[in-house]
Structures are given as structure tokens and as C-alpha cells.
Structure 1
Amino acid sequence: MNTDDRHSLTGAYALDALSDEERRAYERHLAECASCREEVTALSETTARLGLAASAPVPPSLQEDVLRRIAQVQQVPPAVSAAPAQAAPLRGRSRRGPLWALAASIASAVLLGGTAVVQHNLAQDAEQETQRVEQAAGEVAAVLAAPDARLTTTGLPQGATGTVVVSRSLDRAVFTAADLAEPPSGKVYQLWFNDRGTMRPAGLIDPDHTTTAMVMDGPVEGATGMGVTLEPAGGSARPTSPPIALATFPAA
């Protein structure tokens, strides 16, 4: 395991995807690298909230889609610094198992409740829903696996935590949250990009679900952070209430 690999295996370590020998070597590295310890802690907390498990079954079509997306991005190690917690890419053979688990977990546990929803629809609707879920999971996984992915967290009502993962190279951001408080009747959580003080709509969180993992609508370029507000059902063009959460994007 060379130096570059050590700085790029935080995700594999957090998801328990290293061999025993690799794990022992990486733990020796963690004892000396504060930056990697911060990344492991942040990623472990995020995956725990989303209920990720390396043994989750994954449809072959989803594996192929995620692999295709990752193959388009050159894998390089993140910069080692004292910056806020960052999400590192998963490299080589150790990366694939955790990434499939990540995508499968998003598909089954986050996006519309997985098979529980599919099983209650007509066959044609179920097939379309499965395709939509797999596509969305692949898009989320592509951002999380980007070599320049950076992570930041923000507090949400009633003790929930939101996590934002930003990839400047893909010009996309992913927002995840678990244990969200149910919004008041007629209201919905709306995401916003903060374009240096101007809030830009970035998507709505499904009010029927307390867990979400979604690619935010629109490009990251120009944004210095993001926010969450409560808006009337259907969303708003501009915030109509004070933010319930704000986060500053990590420096590129």
C-alpha cells in the first residue's frame, strides 16, 4: 500500500471493505494521519445514518451503471490538509464492494422505500420505478465516488443531521439526511444553493420519507454553500421562511 493509496482508502475502511492485512496497515496509517481520521469519522457517521451495509445485494445493472460512471473520472488522492472532514474516493478492487453496497442501500432504503413500494405497484409501473431508482442511485454514487468529493454536515430540526457531498469536477452535490422530522401539513423541506447570498432552488425532499439521498438540482458552480427551508407544498422560487439549516461548502 503506497502513500497515495493510504489517503484514498478512507471510504473502504469506513465500510469495512479492506482485507485483514490492509486494515492493519491502514490503522497504522490512521494513527499518524489526522486528516484521514477525520474523513473516516465523517464517512462512518454518514453511512451509519443511511444504514449502509457491505453485504447488501446489488442488481447487476446497477453495478454496470456505477462502474461506467466511475470509469469516466480519473482517480487521484485527496489533498492532505487540516480542512473540515472530507469524503475520499474508493480505489481499486476494495472500492467496488462498498460502492455497490452504497448504491443498493440508497436504492432500497432511501429512494421511495425500495421493494416495498415496487411490490405494491403494477408490473409495468414497478419496472419503471426500479429503473428510476437505479438511475438515481447511480447518480448519487457517482458524486460520492468522485476523486474530489468533499463532505460537510449541518444540523436539522429535532437532532437530525444533513450531510452535503460536493464534487467540483462533476459540478454536482448530494444531500443526505436521516431521521428527518415530519414537516408541518402543507409544507415541504426545500434545498437551496447559496450563490454568495442569493438562494437558488435545488430540489424538494419528499415529505413522506424521513431519510433521503438526492443529487441537488442544478450546478455547484458559483455556490459557496447550501441551505434548507420549510416552504409551501410544491416549493418556492425564493425562500419564504428563515433557513432551518445552512452549510458552507468546503474549499475546492
Structure 2
Amino acid sequence: MNTTDLHTLTGAYAMDALPDTERTAFERHLAGCEACAQETAELTATTARLGLAVSVSPRPELRDEVLRRITTVRQETPREAGAATSVPRAAARRVILSRWALAACVAAAAAFGGVAVWQHQRAEDALDQARQAEQSAEGAAAVLAAPDARSGSAKLGDGATGTVVVSKRQDRAVFVVSGMAPPPKGKTYQLWFEEDGKMRSAGLMEPGRSKQTVLMSGAVGGASGMGVTVEPAGGSGQPTSAPVALMPLPA
């Protein structure tokens, strides 16, 4: 594939529609092509706007329905290989087996109770995560679709491009990134607002995703810029490493 062909792939890359080989080649091309990096950042932000603008919220009663159903689904116990199927004839054998069966039933009842509690908690956790993701997506969509939304784009290094979109009326910002290399093991990317020379945490990015749209945590306030650093999993109160990206917020 020649350079002319690579220049035509900005739209397909922004929509995540390239096969692995072409995506790898295009990301190498992005590192040295300012025009493609700029166009890719703008198209990625536009794609995020279009996608989030048509997102559909689940019906309000879905949570209660999931929690109700999860408690009625019984987990099958594993069957032991080679289990005997014949009925013992000796009365003593029946008594012993009956005692073992009773003990097994008691143990199974306790186990099923524990499984039900575990399943219920897992369902609650999943619903909380889904609810947070839904709220974040709705917030990002609102910023991206705001009439006063302003955006600025920049190259972040290693072929990555970033776009920050700000709505002054909503006092919120969204960060759209593509081509982001995964953070080191046990680390995460953390976003920051820069205000009067100080950094204020604006949330974490999802590890392992090269393309994502993130609603930055907290109000923009008087921030004039934003940054991205590599931090320990869970984030830090203040940056502990040099920024991998610094961008001014659009006026």
C-alpha cells in the first residue's frame, strides 16, 4: 500500500472499519503525517458525536427485572463422574447413604444460598457499572451536541491523536482519543485539568482501548488546559509522572 492510499483511510480509521494490517500501517503513517492526524482527530470526534447522539437509554424498569430474575435462576450442581445409579439393598447401606444425602442436601442448600447472594451482588455491581456508563455516555453526548461546543485537536505522540471538546454553558469537557498505546501493566491513563499552574484530576481512561470518548470528571471551571499522565491503577491525587499529552482547552 502506497502513501497515496494511506491518505484516503482517515474516515475508515475513525470509524474503526480497517482490518488489522491496514490499521497498523495507517497508525505508522499517522506518526509522520500532520494532515492525516488532524483530519483523523476531527473525524473521530464527529463519529463520537453521531454515535452518542443516537444512543438509546434502557427502560427504567430493566434494573428491577434483572434483579428479580437473577434470584430465580438455579445453578446446576456438577455431576460426579461414575456416580452409582443402582439402589443399595442392605438397610444399613440405606441408612448411611440417607445420612450422607441429608448432609449433602444441607451443604447444597447453604451453597445455593451463597451462590444466590453472590449472583445478586454481581448483578448489582454490573448494573451500577452499566448505570455509570450510561450516565457518562449521556453526559458526553450532551457536550458533543451542545450548540456552543468548541473543539481543539493535537498529536499526542506514538501516532495517537486527541480532541478535546468543551461546552462553556454546560461547564463540561469531553476527551476523544484514537491510536492510544496501552499503558504499562498495572498502570492507567489519568486525565487532568490544568488551572493556574495546578493539575486537578478529571478521571481515568479505560485501559487497553486505543480509541475512546471520555466525559472528563468535574467542571471545567477556570481551567485553561488539560493533560494525560500514566498513573498506578486506580489513579493518583496528583500527577506522579511527566505528562504524555498537554493540550490547551478551546476558547
Report sequence identity in percent: 51
Q: Distance in 2 between matches of 1:170 and 1:176?
A: 18
Counterpart position of 2:23: none
- Is the CA contact 2:52–2:138 (under 8 Å) kept in the aligned structure 1? no
Counterpart position of 1:147: 147
Counterpart position of 2:231: 231
CA 1:134–1:57: 2 relative to 1, 3 Å: closer
- Aligned pair 1:47/2:73, yes or no? no
Matches within 5 A, 1:167-178: 167-178=167-178
CA 1:147–1:197: 2 relative to 1, 3 Å: same
Q: Describe the superposition over 1:89-140 as per-residue Cα deviations: whole angstroms up to 9, x where unpaired.
A: xxxxxxxxxxxxxxxxxxxxxxxxxxxxxxxxx7666555443332221111
CA 1:174–1:240: 2 relative to 1, 3 Å: same
- Is the CA contact 2:144–2:165 (under 8 Å) kept in the aligned structure 1? yes
Q: Which amino acid aligns with 1:172?
A: R
Q: How many residues align?
A: 154
Structure 1 residue 206, shift from structure 2 partner: 1.7
Counterpart position of 1:82: none
Matches within 5 A, 1:73-222: 127-222=127-222
CA 1:54–1:231: 2 relative to 1, 3 Å: closer
Q: Distance in 2 between matches of 1:188 and 1:132?
A: 19
Counterpart position of 1:243: 243
Q: Distance in 2 between matches of 1:240 and 1:163?
A: 23
Q: TM-score, normalised by structure 1?
A: 0.52
Give the secondary structure class of the aligned counterpart of 2:190. strand
CA 1:171–1:127: 2 relative to 1, 3 Å: same
Give the secondary structure class of the aligned counterpart of 1:156. strand
Q: Distance in 2 between matches of 1:239 and 1:246?
A: 13
- Is the CA contact 2:229–2:239 (under 8 Å) kept in the aligned structure 1? yes
Q: Distance in 2 between matches of 1:208 and 1:145?
A: 27
Q: Describe the superposition over 1:39-94 as per-residue Cα deviations: whole angstroms up to 9, x where unpaired.
A: x996434234x5956997745759xxxxxxxxxxxxxxxxxxxxxxxxxxxxxxxx
CA RMSD of aligned residues (A): 3.3
Q: Which amino acid aligns with 2:132?
A: R
Q: Which amino acid aligns with 1:213?
A: T
Q: Distance in 2 between matches of 1:175 and 1:57?
A: 18
Give the secondary structure class of the aligned counterpart of 1:189. strand
Q: Distance in 1 between matches of 2:218 and 2:195?
A: 12
- Is the CA contact 1:224–1:249 (under 8 Å) kept in the aligned structure 2? yes
Q: Describe the superposition over 1:129-180 as per-residue Cα deviations: whole angstroms up to 9, x where unpaired.
A: 4433322211111111222111011322321111111111111111111232
Q: Which amino acid aligns with 1:245?
A: A
CA 1:55–1:247: 2 relative to 1, 3 Å: closer
Q: Distance in 2 between matches of 1:57 and 1:244?
A: 31
Q: Distance in 2 between matches of 1:190 and 1:140?
A: 17
Counterpart position of 2:20: none
- Is the CA contact 2:189–2:230 (under 8 Å) kept in the aligned structure 1? yes
* Structure with max Cα Rg: 2
- Is the CA contact 1:157–1:181 (under 8 Å) kept in the aligned structure 2? no
CA 1:242–1:123: 2 relative to 1, 3 Å: closer
Q: TM-score, normalised by structure 2?
A: 0.52
- Is the CA contact 1:192–1:226 (under 8 Å) kept in the aligned structure 2? yes
Unaligned stretches of 5+ residues in structure 2: 1-38, 61-121
